[in-house]
Structure 1
């Protein structure tokens, strides 16, 4: 079985909605890293010229390859990444090898499988 790692950097307020959308699209779990920092093309300056950087959550999804694009699109749609600048980004990476995913493979296929 082949896997993809989906990484999403999202506004904290959108985390729960994006997790729900990903699960509805076929994600079987996720890891959330709180308080990541992101910067866009242009730095945002606030009062007295001090830089303002919004806190983000980093969401990680290990997904079976054939489900990954559907999950990525659901994340993007829920977060309005293409419509609203600065709401977040998401991308997927090939996973060469994975351990500790035996239960996930069994739940996806209904039987034990090899990676």
Structure 2
């Protein structure tokens, strides 16, 4: 039995600083048309790095790579190999199935080429994906990311990545010397086992005051595949065996 798939995937890769170029190079050689890189900082619940008693923030690079289903597995494997995502502490990668895209369909070759998957490969993928994950995306005002991090940790999250941005909401307007200023934002990406999603989301809402106007927003995305988070899987297996 064979199955035909079509569409596009968003591959999100989070690696140590200076590793993004390897990811982009490998994905391009595998057929991707490029990617977008963001700079951020990572946090982990058991982080112990300190300098003169001050916690050291781990610099991270976040790469977004949009590819068609027809080359998705090839690109994903190339990224994994390029930065050794299948080894502990080399970074993480996860995949989100996108609904619609605009502006680059001709580059992705959507609707032109499909890929067939056998039952064997599908079953192997199901074994890999025994545990399902969600991605919680939280957007808050600059300086409030610590509230999100603390809340998510208290509810069972293992870590996350913070990147900077700026807001363009209709109620987010400020002026300095009559010059319009766009407020700075912080975006927190939290990869979480589905069973913990609701608890972590509620903790973030309460801890960061998201139920109050102008405090921020959080939303959840389904994740198709994960790489580089074996410690989470091992922890989950241990819990189930107790």
The TM-score, its normalising length taken from structure 1, stands at: 0.85
Q: 1:30 aligns with which of 160, 172, 175?
A: 160
Provide the secondary structure at the position in 2 that maps to 1:30: strand
**CA deviations over 1:73-107 (Å, ceiling 9, x no partner):** 11111111122x22111111000111112111112
Shift of 1:60: 0.5
User: Is it true that 1:98 corresponds to 2:223 in the alignment?
Assistant: no
1:30-109 matches, within 5 Å, as 30-33=160-163, 35-83=164-212, 85-109=213-237
Q: 1:17 aligns with which of 147, 166, 187?
A: 147
User: Is it true that 1:4 corresponds to 2:129 in the alignment?
Assistant: no
Provide the secondary structure at the position in 1 that maps to 2:196: helix
Provide the secondary structure at the position in 2 that maps to 1:89: strand
Shift of 1:48: 4.7
**CA deviations over 1:9-59 (Å, ceiling 9, x no partner):** 1122211122011000111111111x3112223351414542222111110
Runs of 4+ in 1 over 6 A off after TM superposition: none
1:5, 1:61 within 8 Å by CA — same for their partners in 2? yes
Structure with the larger strand share: 2
Work out the number of aligned pairs and report it.
109
Q: Root-mean-square deviation (CA), in Å?
A: 1.6
Give the direction of change, closer, same or farther, for the CA distance of 1:17–1:42 in structure 2 (3 Å limit).
closer
Largest Rg, 1 or 2 = 2
